[in-house]
């Protein structure tokens, strides 16, 4: 994780850009309380092809807007304070995360792939927009920010110009980082301060872009990010074509057995993960697929039923038309009789007027 993110953990949040804090946040730290909610497990493996479709409801957009184009998900920083970020709605407990990503260009712009737990264990990839030759890997245990010597920079060609494969494999014994399938770093459990700083609690996956070079950030952070970010030259866009996530543990949810956050304290609830069931559920069957699954006899039966229904509708429509015509004839006949009656009365009135009958009737009254 970047120095900026760790400074926020030291209580300097007011000095930092708000979107940065949004990328590394824990709503409830199990090291401080036993009332934190359980973590929903992935419990399976799944590949998100973001060129074909959006990430879906197993991910949550925590900041900004994620757009989708021909090359997949687009995390575009369009103005100061913009920091498009998504995080998984599930956790993995040991596992592998593979991301095909093209880092955003731009001085001070940071593209991030983060695995993070509720108690602030963390495994990172961070790519600086102004650095087109190196990528950084990092890790932290339980939010320990007493030193910043864990980061390692790895040579890479044009990560802002091309999609590259960044993979993290995390087990109880070690964490390994890969670029395009080649291992670039291995961290053994005992190498992380005797295991105390080794990430070992269930983690979510987070992808996002943020401005390490924002002018309000700490000067050391701005220097680390390559200088101040010029928002007028944006938008700065990070692209993600696909994400593959594998959970090495199988269960429905994870919980903390105590307040140590150690690997052995994590409890795995047996059963099928609701997330796994959702991801592995077959797509809805279309009408044409239902039709194709019918036997020839069933198709004949359906056809006959449809034909009978259509015939019934035709007969009903014809009956309705005939009935309406008959009703119309009756109404016309009644109207004709009324017209003839009114006409007769009018003719009689005119005849009486001509004979002076009207005046005689008036005098009599």
pTM for the predicted model, two decimal places: 0.74
Q: What is residue 358's predicted lDDT score, i.e. its pLDDT? A: 41
Cis peptide upstream of residue 290 (ω within 30 degrees of 0): no
Torsion on CA atoms 37, 23, 88, 192, rounded to nearest 10? -80
Q: What is residue 361's predicted lDDT score, i.e. its pLDDT? A: 38
Q: Are 67 and 50 in contact (CB under 8 A)?
A: no
Give tens-digit pLDDT for 118-168: 999 999 999 999 999 999 999 999 998 877 789 999 999 999 999 999 999
Distance CA 38, CA 6 (A): 25
Q: What is residue 55's predicted lDDT score, i.e. its pLDDT? A: 82
The pLDDT > 90 percentage for the chain reads 63
Distance CA 364, CA 342 (A): 25
Place of tokens 């009324």: 338
CB atoms within 10 A of CB 38: 14
**Which DSSP string do the residues of 273-306 spell out, in sequence order?**
-HHHHHHHSPPPPPHHHHHHHS-HHHHHHHHHHH
Say how far residue 286 (Cα) sits from the centre of its chain: 24
The residues assigned a catalytic role are 122, 126
Say how far residue 95 (Cα) sits from the centre of its chain: 21
Q: What is the pLDDT along the chain (365 residues), one digit of tens a residue?
A: 443 333 333 222 332 333 333 345 688 999 999 999 999 999 999 999 999 888 888 999 999 999 999 999 999 999 999 999 999 999 999 999 999 999 999 999 999 999 999 999 999 999 999 999 999 999 999 998 877 789 999 999 999 999 999 999 999 999 999 999 999 999 999 999 999 999 999 999 999 999 999 999 999 999 999 999 999 999 999 999 999 999 999 999 999 999 999 999 999 999 999 999 999 888 666 666 565 776 777 667 666 666 666 676 776 666 666 666 665 666 666 666 665 665 566 566 556 655 554 443 333 33
Q: What is residue 360's predicted lDDT score, i.e. its pLDDT? A: 38
CB atoms within 10 A of CB 99: 21
Show the CA angle centred on residue 26, arms to residues 144 and 140, nearest 5°. Answer: 25
Q: What is residue 318's predicted lDDT score, i.e. its pLDDT? A: 65
Distance CA 87, CA 130 (A): 25
DSSP three-state, residue 39: strand
Distance CA 173, CA 140 (A): 16
DSSP three-state, residue 58: coil
Task: Please state at what angle helix 357-364 crosses helix 296-355, rounded to 10 degrees.
Answer: 80
Q: How far is CA 283 from CA 277, 286, 293, in A?
A: 12, 9, 15
Distance CA 173, CA 192 (A): 11
DSSP three-state, residue 341: helix
Contacts of 125 (CB under 8 A, 6+ apart): 99, 112, 113, 114, 135, 136, 137, 166, 168, 177
């Amino acid at each position: 994780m970047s120095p900026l993110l760790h400074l926020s953990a030291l209580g300097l949040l007011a000095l930092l850009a708000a979107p940065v804090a949004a990328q590394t946040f824990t709503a409830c730290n199990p090291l401080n309380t036993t009332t934190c909610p359980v973590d929903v497990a992935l419990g399976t493996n799944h590949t998100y092809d973001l060129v074909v479709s959006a990430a879906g409801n197993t991910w949550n957009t925590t900041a900004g807007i994620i757009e989708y184009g021909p090359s997949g998900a687009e995390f575009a920083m369009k103005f100061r304070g913009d920091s498009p970020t998504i995080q998984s709605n599930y956790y993995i407990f040991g596992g592998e995360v593979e991301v095909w990503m093209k880092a955003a260009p731009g001085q001070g712009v940071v593209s991030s792939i983060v695995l993070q737990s509720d108690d602030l264990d963390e495994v990172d990839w961070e790519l600086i927009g102004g650095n087109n030759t190196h990528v950084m890997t990092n890790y932290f245990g339980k939010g320990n920010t007493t030193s910043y010597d864990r980061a390692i920079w790895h040579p890479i060609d044009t990560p802002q110009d091309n999609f590259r494969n960044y993979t993290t494999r995390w087990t109880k014994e070690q964490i390994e980082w890969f670029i395009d399938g080649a291992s670039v770093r291995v961290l053994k459990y005992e190498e992380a301060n005797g295991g105390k700083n080794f990430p070992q609690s269930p983690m979510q996956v987070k992808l996002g872009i943020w401005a390490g070079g924002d002018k309000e950030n700490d000067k050391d952070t701005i220097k680390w990010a390559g200088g101040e970010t010029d928002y007028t030259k944006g938008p700065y866009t990070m692209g993600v074509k696909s994400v593959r996530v594998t959970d090495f543990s199988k269960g429905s949810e994870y919980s903390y057995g105590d307040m140590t956050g150690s690997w052995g304290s994590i409890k795995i609830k047996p059963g099928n993960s609701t997330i796994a069931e959702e991801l592995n559920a077959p797509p809805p069957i279309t009408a044409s697929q239902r039709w194709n699954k019918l036997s020839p006899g069933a198709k004949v039966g359906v056809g006959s039923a449809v034909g009978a229904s259509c015939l019934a509708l035709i007969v009903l429509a014809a009956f309705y038309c005939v009935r309406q015509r008959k009703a119309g004839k009756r109404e016309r006949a009644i109207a004709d009789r009324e017209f003839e009656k009114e006409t007769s009365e009018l003719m009689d009135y005119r005849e009486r007027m001509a004979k002076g009958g009207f005046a005689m009737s008036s005098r009599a009254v």
